[in-house]
Structure 1
Amino acid sequence: MRKLTLAAFLSLVPIASAATPLSSALPGAEIRGQASLRYLGVKIYDAKLFTKGGSALDWSQDFALELTYKRNLSQYDLVEATLREMSRMGNAMPIRTQLETCYQAVAPGDRYLAISSGPDQLRFWRNDRAACTLSQKGIKTKFMEIFLGDNSRSRRFSRALLGQ
Structure 2
Amino acid sequence: MRRLLLIAATLLVPLSAQASTVKSALPGAELRGAATFRYVGFPLYEARLFTKSGAPLDWNKDFGLELKYMRNLTEYDLVEGTMRELKRTGAALPLRGQLEQCFDDVRKGDRYFALSKGQDQIGFWHNGKRVCTLSHPQIKTRFMAIFLGENTRSKSFTRKLKGE
Regarding TM over 0.5, the answer is yes
**1:91–1:142 contact (8 Å) kept in structure 2:** no
1:4-42 residue CA offsets vs partner (Å, 9 max, x unmatched): xxxxxxxxxxxx999822111210000100000011111
**Structure 2: which 5+ residue stretches go unaligned?**
1-15
User: Secondary structure of the equivalent of 1:23?
Assistant: helix
Q: 2:111 matched to which residue of 1?
A: 111
Superposed CA RMSD = 1.6
User: Secondary structure of the equivalent of 1:145?
Assistant: helix
Aligned-pair CA distance for 1:91:
3.9
Q: Aligned partners of 2:137, 2:149: CA distance in 1, in Å?
A: 18
Q: Aligned partners of 1:110, 1:19: CA distance in 2, in Å?
A: 14
1:65 is aligned to 2:62: no
Q: Choose between structure 1 and 2: higher helix proportion.
A: 2
Q: Aligned partners of 2:128, 2:82: CA distance in 1, in Å?
A: 21
Matched ranges for 1:86-105 at <5 A: 86-105=86-105
Matched ranges for 1:6-155 at <5 A: 20-155=20-155
**2:69–2:109 contact (8 Å) kept in structure 1:** yes
Q: Aligned partners of 1:147, 1:18: CA distance in 2, in Å?
A: 20
1:57-115 residue CA offsets vs partner (Å, 9 max, x unmatched): 00000000000000010100000000000100014210000000100010100000000
What's the TM-score once normalised by structure 1's chain length?
Answer: 0.87
What is the count of residue pairs matched by the alignment? Answer: 149
Greater C-alpha Rg:
1
Q: In the alignment, residue 115 of structure 1 is paired with which amino acid? A: L
Q: 2:161 matched to which residue of 1?
A: 161
